[in-house]
């Protein structure tokens, strides 16, 4: 092992960076991520039937880690598996627009599971693990010079797995060498084929984070038991970058500012439960409808423009105009834009069976078309352009560079807490608003907690169901 190798440097950073070294803004951002991640997972426990088999499988063993929304205590890897399935099921969790990826979707489930099973873990320790793990995911994503899709991969769960493993390893207090072992063991397990995008009836896209969350905990537990890994799991001649990006990456994007600047401060938090790439179009459509008092019945056609990333949300047109599953609808520009214009909002109930069969929504979705605009690359994955053609001959147009929820247009702490309370009310064991608000308050002052396991257990301690 070379002390100055990329993997070794990152392993030392993961194992040894102290909570005291985190900027105040990083601490605040990590607490926001935990609040949001726990909230959307709670909502999914009551709303996502796609995750039920994962919860059922995880529940066959007894342990000390909690399945959120249910209160069931299972082994750490099983809790990470179940909560990972829930974390992305509603597509309502945070995102990193610049890569783009979902850096906390498997990380938070893995970290919470380890915090209970290997505790007591303090609030400071959990905050540091989330900040460091999330930052790692973002740095790896930013460093890629060839898209993972070119190799047939689906990036978010693969990238996120490394942050989840980093958080799990840190919370288990592994040494730098053991952290490298953990990342090596993860590389032996992590995968997500691009085929996840192409089958109309699969729901794997909704529950995909179960696999990296479980793998992260398992990898850390094996490393803790002495399983030796590779010297260079990331940059090696057959390591992560070679396997997933043909070796095309920029180390400086990973190392510059490491330990001083944390990308968790640049997360986007979602106001609507759908793919982040739909948000600019939803916001622009709602703004045009409100400004010009447009009803869905007034619309002749809707023309959308975007880049190469957004194209996957519009094609094939027939499938996107009439999605068969909730998760497919959340990844559909025709459906989400039509939903926004027909109902005037896009909420948690907008993707239920009734909505997927709503003739008004489907009829308008059929009138949505998409074309790629030259020059809109992956750096504009969250941008949007829309034209609404009215039956009276008028055309309304809008472009949006940065949609709501982006760090340059952030949701306020109050808005994020209101989202959390609304999500907690949808849990399998619903939390009353007062109990949810109290839990949000504990999470907002997490650095004062001597044992975060007590906070996790509050997720079902005052249930009304």
Interatomic CA distance for residues 394 and 399, integer angstroms: 17
**Cis link prior to 120 (omega < 30° from 0)?**
yes
Give the model confidence (pLDDT) of 62-79 as tens digits. 999 999 999 999 999 999
Q: What angle do CA 307, 310, 314 make, to 5 degrees?
A: 120
Q: Superfamily assignment of 276-400 in CATH?
A: 2-methylcitrate dehydratase PrpD (3.30.1330.120)
HSE of 206 in the Cβ direction (CA atoms, 13 Å)?
A: 29
Alpha carbons within 13 A on the beta-carbon side of 263: 29
Q: What is the pLDDT of residues 143-200, one digit of tens each?
A: 999 999 999 999 999 999 999 999 999 999 999 999 999 999 999 999 999 999 998 8
Q: What is the pLDDT of residues 296-335, one digit of tens each?
A: 999 999 999 999 889 999 999 999 999 999 999 999 999 9
How does the average pLDDT of the chain come out, rounded?
Answer: 96
- What are the residue ranges spanned by the domains of the chain? 6-266, 276-400
CATH dotted code for 6-266: 1.10.4100.10
Identify the CA nearest to 296 among candidates 244, 249, 339: 339
Mean pLDDT of residues grouped by 10 in the chain (465 residues)? 84 98 98 98 97 98 97 98 98 94 98 96 98 98 96 97 98 98 98 93 96 98 98 97 98 98 98 97 97 94 93 94 96 98 96 97 98 88 94 96 96 98 97 96 97 94 51
The answer to whether the CB of 250 falls within 8 A of the CB of 146 is no
pTM over 0.75: yes
- Specify the DSSP class assigned to residue 254: H
**Residue 262 · residue 131 · CB < 8 Å:** yes
């Amino acid at each position: 092992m070379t002390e100055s190798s990329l993997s070794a440097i990152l392993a030392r950073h993961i194992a040894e960076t102290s909570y005291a070294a985190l900027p105040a803004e990083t601490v605040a951002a990590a607490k926001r991520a935990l609040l949001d991640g726990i909230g959307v997972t709670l909502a999914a426990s009551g709303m996502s039937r796609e995750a039920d088999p994962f919860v059922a499988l995880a529940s066959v063993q007894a342990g000390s880690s909690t399945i959120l929304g249910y209160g069931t205590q299972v082994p750490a890897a099983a809790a990470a598996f179940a909560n990972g399935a829930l974390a992305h099921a509603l597509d309502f969790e945070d995102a990193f627009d610049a890569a783009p990826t979902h850096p906390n979707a498997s990380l938070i489930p893995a970290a919470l599971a380890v915090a209970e099973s290997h505790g007591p873990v303090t609030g400071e320790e959990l905050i540091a693990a989330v900040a460091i793990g999330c930052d790692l995911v973002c740095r790896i994503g930013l460093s890629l010079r060839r898209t993972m899709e070119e190799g047939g991969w689906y990036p978010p769960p693969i990238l996120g797995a490394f942050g989840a493993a980093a958080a799990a390893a840190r919370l288990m207090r592994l040494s730098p060498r053991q952290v490298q072992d953990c990342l090596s063991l993860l590389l032996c397990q992590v995968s997500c084929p691009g085929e996840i995008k192409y089958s109309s009836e699969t729901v794997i896209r909704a529950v995909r984070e179960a696999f990296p969350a479980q793998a992260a905990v398992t990898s850390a537990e094996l490393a803790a038991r002495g399983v030796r890994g590779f010297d260079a799991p990331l940059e090696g001649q057959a390591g992560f970058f070679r396997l997933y990006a043909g070796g095309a990456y920029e180390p400086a994007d990973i190392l510059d500012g490491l330990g001083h600047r944390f990308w968790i401060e640049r997360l986007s938090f979602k106001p609507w439960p759908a793919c982040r790439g739909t948000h600019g179009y939803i916001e622009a459509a709602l703004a045009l409808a409100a400004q010009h008092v447009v009803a869905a019945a007034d619309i002749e056609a809707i023309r959308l423009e975007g880049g190469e990333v957004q194209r996957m949300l519009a094609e094939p047109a027939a499938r996107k105009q009439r999605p068969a599953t909730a998760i497919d609808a959340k990844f559909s520009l025709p459906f989400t834009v039509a939903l926004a214009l027909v109902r005037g909002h896009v909420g948690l109930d907008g993707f239920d069976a009734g909505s997927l069969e709503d003739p008004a929504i489907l009829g308008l979705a059929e009138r949505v078309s998409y074309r790629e605009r030259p020059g809109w690359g992956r750096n504009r994955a969250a941008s949007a352009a829309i034209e609404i053609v009215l039956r009276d001959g008028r055309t309304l147009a809008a472009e949006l560079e940065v949609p709501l929820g982006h760090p340059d247009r952030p949701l306020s702490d109050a808005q994020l807490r209101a989202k959390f309370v609304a999500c907690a009310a949808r849990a399998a064991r619903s939390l009353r608003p007062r109990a949810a608000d109290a839990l949000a308050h504990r999470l907002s002052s997490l650095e004062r907690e001597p044992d975060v396991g007590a906070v996790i257990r509050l997720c079902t301690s005052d249930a009304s169901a």
